[in-house]
Amino acid sequence: MHFELKLPLLGFESITQMKLTKIDDIFMQLENDTDDTKTSFTLINPFVLKPYEIDIPTSIQALLEITETSNVLIFNIVVIHKPLNKSTINFLAPFIFNTDNNTMAQTILDGKAAQNHGMAETIGDFLNKNKND
């Protein structure tokens, strides 16, 4: 799916369109396929790892035209390392996608939500928790 980026990404201000591609049930690929430079991010579904409750800021809801009935996806950037369990996830800066109108934005969590999520949590931490449960 192609999405219109409604807010510029820090360091990537010239990107206005992104393509979201499913890798599997956990990982997605987000890439810029509209200019000469190939920018790509690996994203992860945070809900498969832990309870991930966030309040989408009203400014983002308005920008993406999100309503109570909108189809919304939320993913986080993961930095892949070898071995995979050393890969880190940024839970503080989720990408929000409205699949009804193909718009997206990244937001920064603050307040209470930020206290429950880290900027560089490792996948291995969640694998170990799931083994112990």
Collapse the DSSP code of 27 into the 3-class scheme (helix H, G, I; strand E, B; otherwise coil) and give the result: strand
Q: What is Dmax (Cα atoms) for the chain? A: 47
Domains of the chain, earliest start first? 2-132 (2.30.290.10)
Residue 132 pLDDT class (50, 70, 90 cuts)? very low
Q: How far apart are CA 73 and CA 66, in angstroms?
A: 11
CA 37 – CA 91 distance, rounded (Å): 26
- Model confidence pLDDT, tens digit, residues 24-39: 988 999 999 665 668 8
**In this predicted model, what pLDDT tens digit does every residue of 79-124 receive, in sequence order?**
998 988 888 898 889 999 999 999 999 998 876 666 666 677 777 7
Inter-residue contact 122 to 86 (CB < 8 Å): yes
Per-residue pLDDT of 37-68, as tens digits, reads 688 999 999 998 888 888 899 999 999 999 99
pTM of the predicted structure, to 2 decimals: 0.86
